[in-house]
Structure 1
Amino acid sequence: MKKLLAITALLAFSIAFSQQKPKFTYIRPLIGTAKMGHTFPGATVPFGSVQLSPETDTVAFEKDRKYNGKVYEYCAGYQYADKTICGFSHTHFNGTGHSDLGDFLIMPTVGKLQLNPGTADHPENGYRSKFSHTNEVSQANYYKVKLEDDNILAEMTTSQRVGFHQYTFPKSDQAHIILDLMANIYNHEEKNVWTFIRVENDTLVTGFRQTNGWARTRTVYFAMSFSKPIKNYGFKNYDQENIYNGFWRKFDQSKNFPEAAGPKLKAYFDFATAEGEKIKIKFALSPVSTAGALANMKAEIPHWDFEKAKSDGQNLWEKELDKITVETINDEDKVNFYTAMYHAFINPTVYMDADGQYKGLDQNVHKADGFTNYTTFSLWDTYRALHPLFNLVQPKRNRDMIKSMLAHYDQSVHHALPIWSHYANENWCMIGYHSVSVIADAIAKGNDDFDTKKALEAVVSSSNMLYNDGIGDYVKLGYVPEDRSGASVSKTLEYAYDDWAIAQMAKKLGRNDVYETYSKRAQNFNNVFDKKSGFMRPRLAGGTFKKEFDPLDTHGQGFIEGNAWNYSLYVPHDVVKLTDLNGGKEKFTQHLDSLFTMQLPDKYFENTEDITRDGIIGNYVHGNEPSHHVAYLYDYLGQPWKTQERVRMIIRKMFHSGPDGLGGNDDTGQMSAWYIFTSLGFYPVAPGSDQYALGSPLVKKATLKFENGKTLVISAKNQSEKNVYVSKIELNGKEIPRDFISHSQLVNGGELTFYMSPKPKK
């Protein structure tokens, strides 16, 4: 009888286990594809070099760049509201506020050959096609859509460095695959320096593209393989009149000629297809050479089994998602959580061939020795929560990212770590030198299997680089003067935080001289606080504060992506002193309360799209990163119940599972990392410290599997929509304060239990 019961129980468990949905099935890449989220819906694997996704328009950036209009609509190439698709390209940013990439656009068509994209109003005038979301599927590593105008079913999946297309055609003697080397997301038709294409045989095409877009010089090589021999092919060079062809003019280079070159080049490949016939394309990328691209293809997808490639990539996602298993109040929360993990694990991207070769910042070919080289470092965004998340659940990858940053430093003529870099280019975008925060945070949390001596040298060098706006004045005067450098207050505050991070790093490495120097610099935030107004305020080189000052205005007031209200709260490394500046705990609490409850007058939105209101609660701007730590400041004021209340309110207002489900740019995973931390019940207010501020978890239960082999189980007892307050927290059965918890306490594993309540415990 006992054996029978045991067998029955085992069978029931096996059935229940088999009925569990894989975690990757909860991912909805369409979240964030509407409005300002700037995510892409196409296929990619974790941290993949290829992001194969549809483009719904062709221009994302214009010379007259304003904070409105279409210039910001296509940073990821796709807007959910659009009705047409231009094609499918192989590289995309995820959730940025700036555009680039969109390399090698492919579009299948039938009938009369048209090499221009046409327009959204008249797609019939080009290769563009209408589509419907009812015939669109967007999943982890899989995208499918019906191209209605030509009755073609488009499907795509990826490996690390290869995009795999599958197009199901109708019966036609005029089936075409168009390869548009002019199309890009930064600025259509104007940013190519040079392109080259070579038809190696009747199924293999190679080439490269060099662009001068946001990145000044960016070269990507490709190898393109067809599952079926090409019937005919041809090229069109849209800059023919400006190219000296010399003796090449004796050939007809437009049709069935083996190679072509020029800045404005398009190619087409003709086929005859039977009804329902599938033409497959493997499109491999390399930062080094066409030979590297072909080797990547052979290494990663040597076969033509589309379903296998799709499944292999989805298994990679399942492996990454398995680092955190959650039970939630409802299924939508599970969708949001795993999609946040998905978005957080797209960038930075692997940037090297399968053999480790990559192009460096010096434009020479290097080989990653003992590490994976990464690119796409949007550090002003990601130092806040994304890299701290990696230190928790992706420590090896984060170490390799730091090694990639140190390689960047070695290759930099400025002797500087990355600011905002991608594809062997430094874009110098945004402010601060936040690589130092990423490195300091890893060292603080014991994730420092890299050359720490060299790292300290690199962070000190980066902090003193006079090419950085206002650094000379900052060191000499103790602040950045507004009359010499715009966004001066934001720069002063962020430099001060970074200097504190350097000090913590130096202290741990036993360099007391560096610690003392940077601890002093870290106090420079005091120099831009105006006691009279009660806000951080721009100062002039002569020492006086700027006279014209509106703490609610975001324009010309000394701040970037925020106003004085937002940035006056940005001293994450010394909240005690910030509290004193604001008149003590009681007054500072009132100030924080006002931030969330005040109503901004309409005049502050006159020069921006109404869409920018989506990320705002009162004057709290969740859509911009400088505010991401603010709700957790109540913990430092002895009022953790207000942190609990605010974070649960923010998470409900700023996130949902629709295409417009993000309250702003995902910013290469920062917004999603905030969601993950907050859902788990804690947040890294000051990376560079090993402390997390505690909040109110959204999950009912979460199991974190760490790379050290240990497991942490987070439980929220009595969890519900109404029970947002925490009455008690226990770690391994022992009650702990409701304010803070250390990194070591988490990664040592065990059980972290939150006891939830409908009423605050003050």
Structure 2
Amino acid sequence: MGAQALVGHAQDKQDKGLVKYVDPMIGTARMGHTYPGATAPFGMVQLSPDTDTIPYAVDGKYTGDVYKYCAGYQYEDKTIVGFSHTHFSGTGHSDLGDFLIMPTTGELQLNPGTAENPESGYRSKFSHDNETAEAGYYKVKLDDHNITAELTATTRVGMHQYTFPEAAAAHIILDMMYGIYNYDEKTTWAFIRLENDTLITGYKSTNGWARTRTEYFAMSFSKPVKTYGFKMYEKHPYRGFWGRFDQENNFPEAANEKIRAHFDFDVAAGDKIKIKFALSPVSTANAIENMKAEVPGWDFEAVKAQTQAEWNKQLGKVTVDAGTEDDYKNFYTAMYHAFLGPTVYQDVNGEYKGLDQNVHQAEGFTNYTSFSLWDTYRALHPLFNILQPARNQDMIKSMLAHYDQSVHNMLPVWSHYANENWCMIGYHSVPVIADAVIKGNADFDVERALEACINTANTRYFDGIGEYIDRGFVPEDVSRASVSKTLEYAYDDWCIAQIAKKLGKEEVYKEFMKRSESYKNVYDPKTGFMRPKLANGEWIKEFDPLDTHWKGFIEGNAWNYSLYVPHDPESMIEMMGGDQKFVPHLDSLFSMELPDKYFEHTEDISRDGIIGNYVHGNEPSHHVVYLYDWTDQPWKAQDKIRMILKAMYKTGANGLGGNDDFGQMSAWYLFSSLGFYPVAPGSNQYMLGSPAVNSATIRLQNGKEFKIEAKKQSDKNVFVKKVELNGKEVDKTYITHEDIEKGGTLTFHMSNKPNRK
């Protein structure tokens, strides 16, 4: 299917543009942790259904459900609790789920009920047969209430449309207690105010994964509220003069740790109740301003069309001849998932809440939040340097603002709604900054950015950095996951060296290049693996290179992490015995069969996302298959890349082989489908692989186009006979960022036999 066929195919599907290929249901089952609801590209509002209430603990014991419901929705569930306005996409940790709304009819019920007994509360059964999910739009029939729910969203405003097929007493429930991280204890304070008979404002403060987070809202109804009430579940011994009022029935405001509200209407058959729900990190006044700016009217279809037009614009940055219908779905759903975050975190007037909990003004940039950097530095931010360069610069400016507001003298580790969550290891803002600098996408103060990187790398109390600086490695008896930390710090230090070199700072360059060789200090030549060391310099005695249970490693084992030297593969391969030993070692990674005992701790690793001992569902392995490009057998990468693409990325709710991790899994898919991959962000090189598309056109911000052609590409022709750039044969296993930015054509000549030369 060529370019003309693609156009014709679009017209066959009601001319919806590329949005027709996006299936937000992909990844909503098992470990994908994606949500199916409505959002705009990088939107602050993610308006989506939630399918269960999540207690953090039962009888004092951790239940694990907090992991299962990271996105609030699991495809296997049979009931919907309601529709909340904030969600993570594809993460391995949960939070958010702010401001749950649920429409109901009949007798008012203010508790959510249970999945086993939904009629005991306001939740409802539903069927996937009556569910539609598109980019920017979601629709479902709530069977127990016979209500059709429709959702769409702009950047800062969620819009609901509830259609009632019968005359009824209708209720809109606003549950201020609900939250994805911890339903029972997460909300620390909530406030609701009835401004008039169609406008409600308020805020909610939570202590969840983000230890202190406050979100403000403004909610507007399309028709006046008839009656309303608040249910407050914490009764304070001293209520002062407030005790003289009946605060639960038609009283204009409520404040409590735990509140649920109801707003009541009379509806006729076919009536629609519409809701505009705007968010703000700063104030209810700003939320109202956001609403007026982004959704001034009540035309639901117009808002949906506007958001889907914006999605088509963003998806149109790459057009492909992908092959089959499923291939198109996988490609454009991956682009959709890649463009969900990080998310905008500022009001239309530029105000946002900073890490210091004060209100700041974003001057000359858009502020972003939710940086899952341990995941996304690897491929998502490099993808942005090609497809979203202006946004990526704003994201880095947001990181630098975080640094300025930090008392820890550090760039973000896992930045989230004016909080630092300290999740995972490394200081991986650094490679994001370095990649932008090296690739010439650095419209920010690079000198200041380098200073921030250096100070972050020298924050001695963070996760064994002091020991790493003094000893050249992190000791396992000082800080667990010590090998993983040592290897990731070494790579981050190499990135700092690249920025210093670019700026001509020779001494800084030498210092951090020396630190970047620290990976050698945890390599044990006797076992042939990276191995944990103790503070006395001795190797840890109990060592199993397949063990994943935190003995030196995190989200991987010695087999996986021994290959984590993305900045110096040549030296790593030589250290491990050269091509003669390294290639068989790499081969075996994909063919091993792991005993069940290595899957007992599913919070560390599970069989989802695993091929042999290659763990595609966890990010430390994402570059591994491309390491063949540094050996004398680069062709061995090619069929394996295609095998991974087929095995780990499919259509359907269970289509992702692991958490999408805020777009990192999807970015891997996009790069690898196009035929190249950024093994070491901070370098200008993209290693060549085996393209899965027949052709593609990348539309660059500079107005040029970079095209990919795969001649004779098929499921059998997975090997590359030769590669040409603008008609000239490429004699290397990589192309550069400059090659892409200049525009032109990269041509792969495919074959069913490897080119062993």
TM-score range with shorter-chain normalisation? over 0.9
Match of 1:95 in 2: 90
Report the CA distance between 1:251 and its aligned residue.
1.1
Cα deviation code 1:722-751 (max 9, x no counterpart):
000010111111010351110100111011
CA distance in 1, matches of 2:75, 2:604: 18
Match of 1:5 in 2: none
Deviates more, 1:18-27 or 1:479-488: 18-27
Report the CA distance between 1:610 and its aligned residue.
12
Judging changes above 3 Å, is the alpha-carbon distance between structure 1 residues 670 and 62 closer, same or farther for their aligned structure 2 residues?
Answer: farther
Match of 2:634 in 1: 640
Question: Under a length normalisation based on structure 1, what TM-score does the superposition of the two structures give?
Answer: 0.97
Report the CA distance between 1:612 and its aligned residue.
2.1
- 1:222 is aligned, of 217, 224, 228, to 217
Report the CA distance between 1:15 and its aligned residue.
7.7
CA distance in 1, matches of 2:570, 2:338: 31
CA distance in 1, matches of 2:579, 2:11: 53
Give 2:437's aligned amino acid. Answer: I
CA distance in 2, matches of 1:511, 1:66: 53
Judging changes above 3 Å, is the alpha-carbon distance between structure 1 residues 544 and 335 closer, same or farther for their aligned structure 2 residues?
Answer: same
Cα deviation code 1:486-533 (max 9, x no counterpart):
000000000000000000111001111110000000000000001111
Alignment coverage as a number of residue pairs: 751
Contact residue 61 and residue 99 of structure 1 kept, 8 A: no
**2:150 aligned with 1:158:** no
Give 1:246's aligned amino acid. Answer: G
Judging changes above 3 Å, is the alpha-carbon distance between structure 1 residues 196 and 243 closer, same or farther for their aligned structure 2 residues?
Answer: farther
Contact residue 35 and residue 611 of structure 1 kept, 8 A: no
- SS of the residue 2:588 aligns to: helix
Matches within 5 A, 1:62-77: 62=57, 69-77=64-72
Give 1:22's aligned amino acid. Answer: G
Report the CA distance between 1:248 and its aligned residue.
1.1
Matches within 5 A, 1:432-447: 432-447=426-441
Matches within 5 A, 1:166-565: 166-240=161-235, 242=236, 244-565=238-559
Judging changes above 3 Å, is the alpha-carbon distance between structure 1 residues 342 and 239 closer, same or farther for their aligned structure 2 residues?
Answer: same
**2:734 aligned with 1:740:** yes
Judging changes above 3 Å, is the alpha-carbon distance between structure 1 residues 410 and 578 closer, same or farther for their aligned structure 2 residues?
Answer: same
Judging changes above 3 Å, is the alpha-carbon distance between structure 1 residues 14 and 737 closer, same or farther for their aligned structure 2 residues?
Answer: closer
Give 2:44's aligned amino acid. Answer: S
Give 1:290's aligned amino acid. Answer: T
Contact residue 713 and residue 752 of structure 1 kept, 8 A: yes
- SS of the residue 2:748 aligns to: strand
Gaps in structure 1 of 5+ consecutive residues:
1-10
Judging changes above 3 Å, is the alpha-carbon distance between structure 1 residues 330 and 65 closer, same or farther for their aligned structure 2 residues?
Answer: farther
Give 1:226's aligned amino acid. Answer: F
CA distance in 1, matches of 2:628, 2:673: 18
Judging changes above 3 Å, is the alpha-carbon distance between structure 1 residues 733 and 66 closer, same or farther for their aligned structure 2 residues?
Answer: farther
**2:48 aligned with 1:57:** no
Give 1:739's aligned amino acid. Answer: T
- SS of the residue 1:571 aligns to: coil
**2:613 aligned with 1:622:** no
Judging changes above 3 Å, is the alpha-carbon distance between structure 1 residues 120 and 518 closer, same or farther for their aligned structure 2 residues?
Answer: same
Judging changes above 3 Å, is the alpha-carbon distance between structure 1 residues 690 and 139 closer, same or farther for their aligned structure 2 residues?
Answer: same
Judging changes above 3 Å, is the alpha-carbon distance between structure 1 residues 436 and 407 closer, same or farther for their aligned structure 2 residues?
Answer: same
Report the CA distance between 1:66 and its aligned residue.
9.7
Report the CA distance between 1:255 and its aligned residue.
0.5
Cα deviation code 1:555-614 (max 9, x no counterpart):
142000000000000000010111012101111000000100010011111233899212
Give 2:571's aligned amino acid. Answer: K
CA distance in 2, matches of 1:54, 1:761: 50
Contact residue 235 and residue 266 of structure 1 kept, 8 A: yes
Give 1:209's aligned amino acid. Answer: K
Deviates more, 1:685-694 or 1:172-181: 172-181
Contact residue 68 and residue 608 of structure 1 kept, 8 A: no
Question: Under a length normalisation based on structure 2, what TM-score does the superposition of the two structures give?
Answer: 0.97
Contact residue 119 and residue 126 of structure 1 kept, 8 A: yes
Give 1:514's aligned amino acid. Answer: V
Contact residue 189 and residue 264 of structure 1 kept, 8 A: no
CA distance in 1, matches of 2:354, 2:552: 35
- 1:115 is aligned, of 110, 113, 121, to 110
Judging changes above 3 Å, is the alpha-carbon distance between structure 1 residues 66 and 122 closer, same or farther for their aligned structure 2 residues?
Answer: closer
CA distance in 1, matches of 2:84, 2:38: 11
Cα deviation code 1:451-490 (max 9, x no counterpart):
0010010000000112311011000000000001000000
- 2:587 is aligned, of 584, 593, 597, to 593
CA RMSD of aligned residues (A): 1.7
Deviates more, 1:461-470 or 1:319-328: 461-470
Cα deviation code 1:236-294 (max 9, x no counterpart):
10012x26321111111111000000110110000000011100000000000000000
Contact residue 555 and residue 604 of structure 2 kept, 8 A: no
Contact residue 217 and residue 277 of structure 2 kept, 8 A: yes
CA distance in 2, matches of 1:63, 1:420: 28
- SS of the residue 2:144 aligns to: coil
Contact residue 66 and residue 94 of structure 2 kept, 8 A: no
Match of 1:664 in 2: 658
Judging changes above 3 Å, is the alpha-carbon distance between structure 1 residues 344 and 80 closer, same or farther for their aligned structure 2 residues?
Answer: same
Cα deviation code 1:369-400 (max 9, x no counterpart):
01010000000000000000000111000000
Report the CA distance between 1:80 and its aligned residue.
0.2
CA distance in 2, matches of 1:244, 1:600: 61
- 2:79 is aligned, of 76, 84, 92, to 84
Contact residue 641 and residue 690 of structure 2 kept, 8 A: yes
Judging changes above 3 Å, is the alpha-carbon distance between structure 1 residues 382 and 68 closer, same or farther for their aligned structure 2 residues?
Answer: farther
Contact residue 225 and residue 281 of structure 1 kept, 8 A: yes
Give 2:288's aligned amino acid. Answer: L
Match of 1:7 in 2: none
Contact residue 118 and residue 124 of structure 1 kept, 8 A: yes
CA distance in 1, matches of 2:750, 2:579: 26
Contact residue 728 and residue 738 of structure 1 kept, 8 A: no
Contact residue 60 and residue 99 of structure 1 kept, 8 A: no
Report the CA distance between 1:58 and its aligned residue.
1.3
CA distance in 2, matches of 1:712, 1:290: 45
Match of 1:8 in 2: none
CA distance in 1, matches of 2:637, 2:59: 41
CA distance in 2, matches of 1:554, 1:511: 40
Match of 1:677 in 2: 671
- SS of the residue 2:139 aligns to: strand
Match of 2:596 in 1: 602
- 1:124 is aligned, of 95, 119, 125, to 119
Contact residue 707 and residue 746 of structure 2 kept, 8 A: yes
Gaps in structure 2 of 5+ consecutive residues:
none
Contact residue 346 and residue 668 of structure 1 kept, 8 A: yes
Contact residue 68 and residue 609 of structure 1 kept, 8 A: no
Judging changes above 3 Å, is the alpha-carbon distance between structure 1 residues 67 and 131 closer, same or farther for their aligned structure 2 residues?
Answer: same
Give 1:658's aligned amino acid. Answer: G
CA distance in 1, matches of 2:59, 2:529: 33
Cα deviation code 1:402-433 (max 9, x no counterpart):
00000000000111100001100000000000
- 1:702 is aligned, of 693, 696, 702, to 696
CA distance in 2, matches of 1:372, 1:400: 6
Give 1:594's aligned amino acid. Answer: S
Deviates more, 1:68-77 or 1:214-223: 68-77
